[in-house]
Structure 1
């Protein structure tokens, strides 16, 4: 079995009952973390010197539509209505299977480059099985750990999810399946219940968007059917009432915020603070490259700053001055991009923390600062020196491995040249 020892780093394990950061070595055996600590058995191990680096768990981007990567930056000034009209109302129907594959591959490689080792890939442009297969193939080819959340193009509210398509899909060792359903807000109550039940019967995470006003009757139907659970993932959560957020939290459901997109496009203010007041926390996603950068650390910083700003303003209104202490810590924000993301995707027993028995998914950050947690949270792509997934290096010395990046860029440009005119002509 291949053994690797990372020596000399400041390690942020994100594990309970351990320091926020510590000087420690990390021993990896095969695809698993064997130990974190000092004086570890190095017999037969490759020693990797990471002195003065920071080692953190692999980041988790819990919500991204990688199939839209070729549209990168096209919607920087789009509102939510613009995005829905241009992407789903126009350009999506012109996607070919090869566009799905290269968009997914390029998007997943970009995530690895930025330190994301686990990706919730919300794929809802699947008009044919060939489109679905091409997207899944691109995700597998990237080497990222992923949950392929099978979705569908927008359709009638009473159209149930095509579970036959889900059932025929097979995944590799790093990939698992979930269902990206239209959800209670966009479905009839009977359809919402049927989709939730289908996911539960298959033991799959069921994920849905919610940002279209107060909860509709489908939510009540799903709750009354007893189908809310830790496998329920709600993206955005805008429009949810305090009562409904509590119902979801009490059921163990997760909420994923995509803060830059939500603030910029008009989904609504991120649910961060409302979750924290209930003792819960958000996971994070970046949503779509068409509108915002797909950088989950940026999402963490934006979510942190937005909620701190909101808290300061409330304190100022109540007392006449801003708060004298931070209401949220940098470590909490880093947890949203690791521990909470793993929980949202049903992978909390495998990723999100560095401790014995967990998968060897980690990031080596070349960044200096007196506070390793802050240095990790503030890291940019250029600081991400190395990335490991399941014990295998996917990035070393600031360079992605085992991929012809020039060929990927060329195919992505070809796809963009085909697709962008449809996005602009609407």
Structure 2
């Protein structure tokens, strides 16, 4: 009998073979005992169930029975814990119907499917056969307490960014809340109430009822971190230039861009977005100069959507061939495919994906091409993000040339500006422009000293960004520390010489990584602070432990000691993308394996082209 026939046979037997699992007097789940051919219930204990499948079982998922009631609404689609399997094998057709384990009313933890850990005895083991994964784990609809089959299409580009649990009320209780805006008024023992993905109350002792209560006692609660400039397609090349400078980056990293296939872009973007979420970054601008073909661009967008991260996709040029697109002699204009991108993916603030234009600017194209690219972006109604003041290229006087053309504006974010003149920084401030500073990579690769003191002199507050993981770490905690240390070092030098300077505080630096990042992306009305009416982009950290406790100063521990390992929970628009230190919607093992496969392809292609591994 074929695999699809076995699937349909199991589906037909479902109504005859259901069982009810009870914990004490509470019935919490309805399970079809024929979830896969040959699967049977082996153990029921302590509110958990263990299923053993076929001998070739490789994937395991976890089911937790939570004590608090919460709702999966009737007619609500649950996306499926193994949706990543579909993304890994998009070329395979789906069976007609999908069968899943689900119930109509559950505790919030009951739908947490994640890789099994040794510390979790409550494990559901399932067959990992290709047909079974696709037919059984890609989605169902909850209807009157039973598991109803739902036809599922490709999940690579979800139909909507509205999460399936948006009707729930979640209360984060008892944490040390650092709102960042509108005022720096910390709430030492505060609560946050979330409804429909939006913050509806912030303060001490919120008494309203909620479907889920999260105990944040002893933990620090901050807005989601915001990375305003990162080349996500380079994530698979992490740490490949540990001692490289800017020229090495052009000759090694960008040259390898010609070997990226669309699937490689998808794999790298998904890896980078997953790593960002794991480190508490809820919003990232993907500066995507890998638009070698329209398929490359679509793959980048698809990965951002699959990760469920709030993102700004900044469409840019391709790097194949590199010399045609990036260089002061390049007369090529921005790829016209950006018009299709805008038409196809244009979104509103209610969605997680927004669009921008990654304009090369006069340091990476001819002046005429740079001016035309900016005009195109404005014609399409897109914000502009542009590299400026990069090492010796700052002599191109990007800002001054744009000013002569009347092209400066508040819709431009200027990246780096290390070697931009004081006059250029004053022009940026006067025209309402924003800054994206990448202090770690700028110091390592030789862009120039991060100009924090010069920002202060003209009234600019920077946002922070990782830039390229080829030479620095991909979390914003390291960027915040680098910014804090370098800004104060520069200010101390000025003060010692008798000048005037600002000694920035740890609180200032957190603002750069949150609310200033939101302003740079034009999203400060959506995210960047813990305020009523904003989307619930929230990070919870446990800063106790050997390397960061005792916590004498929460803001101090956050900036001076925190790492991704301290991030316990991450919410994007109220959806828990990371809970109890585990990413919920991403099959991390498969994401890493796909990235390894991409690296193998890139190294093989580079070797064949005589570039070396």
Give the alignment's TM-score, normalised by structure 1: 0.94
Q: What RMSD over aligned residues (CA atoms) do the two structures have, in Å? A: 2.0
1:275 is aligned to 2:455: yes
Contact 1:187/1:218 (8 A) holds in 2 = no
For 1:15-414, list aligned pairs within 5 A. Answer: 15-88=181-254, 90-153=255-318, 154=322, 155=325, 156-169=329-342, 170-171=344-345, 173-210=351-388, 211=390, 212-216=392-396, 219-318=399-498, 327-368=503-544, 369-377=551-559, 378-414=561-597
Range with greater deviation from structure 2 (281-290 or 218-227): 218-227
C-alpha displacement at 1:136, in angstroms?
1.0
C-alpha displacement at 1:283, in angstroms?
0.7
Q: Distance in 1 between matches of 2:424 and 2:502?
A: 27
C-alpha displacement at 1:249, in angstroms?
1.0
Match of 2:114 in 1: none
C-alpha displacement at 1:162, in angstroms?
2.0
What SS does the aligned partner of 2:176 have? strand
C-alpha displacement at 1:372, in angstroms?
1.5
Cα deviations across residues 75-121 of structure 1 (Å, max 9, x unaligned)? Answer: 11111101111112x31111111110000000000000000000011
What SS does the aligned partner of 1:121 have? strand
Q: Distance in 2 between matches of 1:152 and 1:408?
A: 26
C-alpha displacement at 1:310, in angstroms?
2.0
Range with greater deviation from structure 2 (169-178 or 234-243): 169-178
Cα deviations across residues 346-402 of structure 1 (Å, max 9, x unaligned)? Answer: 111111000011010010011141212112223111100000001100001111112
Range with greater deviation from structure 2 (172-181 or 261-270): 172-181
Contact 2:361/2:367 (8 A) holds in 1 = no
C-alpha displacement at 1:215, in angstroms?
4.8
Instruction: Say if 1:112 and 1:403 are closer, same or farther in 2 by CA, change over 3 A.
Output: same
C-alpha displacement at 1:291, in angstroms?
1.2
Contact 2:224/2:283 (8 A) holds in 1 = yes
C-alpha displacement at 1:181, in angstroms?
1.1
- Comparing both structures, which one devotes a greater share of its residues to helix? 1
Q: Distance in 2 between matches of 1:59 and 1:420?
A: 33
Q: Distance in 2 between matches of 1:314 and 1:106?
A: 41
Q: Distance in 2 between matches of 1:354 and 1:313?
A: 35
Instruction: Say if 1:218 and 1:69 are closer, same or farther in 2 by CA, change over 3 A.
Output: closer
Q: Distance in 2 between matches of 1:405 and 1:85?
A: 31
Contact 1:21/1:373 (8 A) holds in 2 = no
Q: Distance in 2 between matches of 1:206 and 1:267?
A: 21
Contact 1:190/1:218 (8 A) holds in 2 = no
Contact 2:294/2:337 (8 A) holds in 1 = no
Q: Distance in 1 between matches of 2:193 and 2:241?
A: 44
| Count of matched residue pairs | 421
Q: Distance in 2 between matches of 1:187 and 1:406?
A: 40
- Give ranges in structure 1 of 5+ residues lacking alignment: none
Instruction: Say if 1:21 and 1:379 are closer, same or farther in 2 by CA, change over 3 A.
Output: farther
Q: Distance in 1 between matches of 2:173 and 2:384?
A: 40
Q: Distance in 2 between matches of 1:307 and 1:218?
A: 24
Contact 1:184/1:219 (8 A) holds in 2 = no
C-alpha displacement at 1:41, in angstroms?
4.5
Q: Distance in 2 between matches of 1:132 and 1:318?
A: 52
Structure with the bigger RCO (C-alpha within 8 Å, sep 6+) is 1
What SS does the aligned partner of 2:305 have? helix
Q: Distance in 2 between matches of 1:326 and 1:216?
A: 29
- Which of 1 and 2 has greater Rg? 2
What SS does the aligned partner of 1:140 have? helix
Q: Distance in 2 between matches of 1:315 and 1:276?
A: 14
Q: Distance in 2 between matches of 1:114 and 1:412?
A: 19
Contact 1:196/1:222 (8 A) holds in 2 = no
Q: Distance in 2 between matches of 1:361 and 1:327?
A: 29
Contact 2:399/2:408 (8 A) holds in 1 = no
Range with greater deviation from structure 2 (297-306 or 37-46): 37-46
Contact 1:21/1:372 (8 A) holds in 2 = no
Give the alignment's TM-score, normalised by structure 2: 0.66
Q: Distance in 1 between matches of 2:189 and 2:205?
A: 12
Instruction: Say if 1:43 and 1:167 are closer, same or farther in 2 by CA, change over 3 A.
Output: same
What SS does the aligned partner of 2:458 have? coil
- Give ranges in structure 2 of 5+ residues lacking alignment: 1-166, 545-550
Q: Distance in 2 between matches of 1:69 and 1:409?
A: 11
Q: Distance in 1 between matches of 2:511 and 2:235?
A: 26
C-alpha displacement at 1:278, in angstroms?
1.9
Instruction: Say if 1:178 and 1:111 are closer, same or farther in 2 by CA, change over 3 A.
Output: same
Q: Distance in 1 between matches of 2:504 and 2:458?
A: 14
